[in-house]
Amino acid sequence: MWGGRFTEKPADLMQAINVSIGVDKRLWRQDLAGSRAHCRMLASQAIIAQSDADAILAGLDQIEAEIEAGTFPFRDEYEDIHMNVEARLKELIGEPAGRLHTARSRNDQVATDFRLWVREACDRTLNQIRSLQRALLGQAEAHADALMPGFTHLQPAQPVTFGHHLMAYVEMFGRDAGRFADARERMNESPLGSAALAGSPFPIDREMTASALGFARPMANSLDGVSDRDFALESLAAASICAGHLSRLAEEIVVWMTPQFGFVALSDAFTTGSSIMPQKKNPDAAELVRAKTGRITGSLVALTTVMKGLPLAYSKDMQEDKPPVFEAFDALELALTAMAGMVADLTPNRARMAAAAGAGFSTATDLADWLVRELGLPFRTAHHVTGAAVKRAEMLGVDLVDLPLADLQALEGGITANVYDVLTPAASAASRRAWGGTAPEAVRAQIRRWKERIG
């Protein structure tokens, strides 16, 4: 490729560190799409003859057929996907192949290919997030009124519904989808035509190539066009946050499946056994989803470190941009698919959850609210009275709802038997009907809203 300037081949070690075809060959579809768009533009602008363009396009079609058939000769000596395609094109059509690289550089070529790949990965991820949300919505709708304990500090806090708990994740993944959509919109500009770094002296039509590749517009600065990897970093940031949400849900599934909780069960499809303990049924799918977060967050850190301190425009360091992105999206797509399957597969133990919903004096806040609402006590006073009631119930070994009225009245004389109407977990959950609350009717309203939104 650069034989006019160099007289010797690179050392074997240089070849080993420089070759990237093992990684970037997965960009072949994007590389062919970019080359076709560039070729058609060159012919349209009379920069190359139409006959040469026709030969190039036919050769690119043949290369595509070879790659799809598994017969394309990927060779390390041509170091990357771009030169492998160009070398094979020359073997197929001869001299016209050399005209394809007119008015472009590998710098804008790889920036275009990579941007196309990441854009497609964001689209796939958006679809997978929607599939996971639909699985969550299905379970939330089926169990909108199923009581369970809500936790803070992993201690019983207040009763909630299982549907409400799952809808929290629908909201989280909705924001994740928004981040990927935002990243996609910002990356939807074409670097093609930036050439090496300064733009091209040829009368190219960058609007034409941008449109052909589905971009909204060409990038406005050629230096930025070849050196920007913000689109990859932003996508990895979105992936890392999404992986964090997946990990939180995976952790809850792991905890809920323990015999100590016994809130949910997974079928054999998403669990494994033990080689020595025949009783075991392990939530390995959830654990592996939880572990994928390390890879995905690590990829973000890796690329951030690669890009830190690089001067404009292109540096060979940027060859290391693709491995972390490919690895992160591979892991995220697998984790999203696995989680959607697990959520759909979950069988909640409604009786076990309902029994736990009242544990730990979880309706104490309802007692305090009743004192404020019915007796007009300041909340801090009500809080103190309720704390004393909890202490008394704990001493007697009973729940708040079983605490004798006389004991309650000894703490606050205005308390009546009506207080017991709010001290059950079901009453507690049902009372929280405000927008975003855990009452079954409020949960069903949120389910309807999301169904309308994502279909």
The yes-or-no answer on residue 274 being catalytic is yes
Residue type, 198: A
Are 333 and 125 spatial neighbours (Cβ–Cβ below 8 Å)? yes
Choosing from 240, 274, 362, 383, the catalytic residue is 274
- Which residue carries 């670097």 as its tokens? 191
For 421, other C-beta atoms within 10 Å of its C-beta total 12
- Calpha distance 294→8 (Å, rounded): 43
Token couple for 1 = 């490729």
Is residue 395 within a helix (H) or strand (E), and if so which, with residue range? helix 379-396
**Using CA atoms, how far apart are residues 303 and 366, in angstroms rounded to an integer?**
50
Q: At 158, is the secondary structure helix, strand, or coil?
A: strand
Residue type, 237: A
Which of the following is catalytic: 105, 153, 200, 383? 153
Contact between 191 and 219 under an 8 Å Cβ cutoff? The reply is yes
Q: At what angle do helices 440-454 and 162-187 cross, to 10 degrees?
A: 30
Are 308 and 219 in contact by the 8 Å Cβ rule? The answer is no
How far apart are alpha carbons 55 and 38 in whole angstroms?
14
Q: Give the whole-angstrom CA distance, residue 109 versus residue 195.
A: 8
Contacts of 427 (CB under 8 A, 6+ apart): 363, 366, 421
For the chain, state the CA radius of gyration.
30
* SS3 state at 44: helix
Residues 264 and 268: their CA atoms lie apart, in Å, by 13
Distance from the first to the final alpha carbon of the chain: 52
- Residue 451 tokens, joined: 């169904």
- Letter for the amino acid at 101? H
Helices 28-44 and 106-142: crossing angle, nearest 10°? 130
Going by C-alpha positions, the residue among 238, 247, 192 that lies closest to residue 215 is 192
What is the set of active-site residues?
153, 274
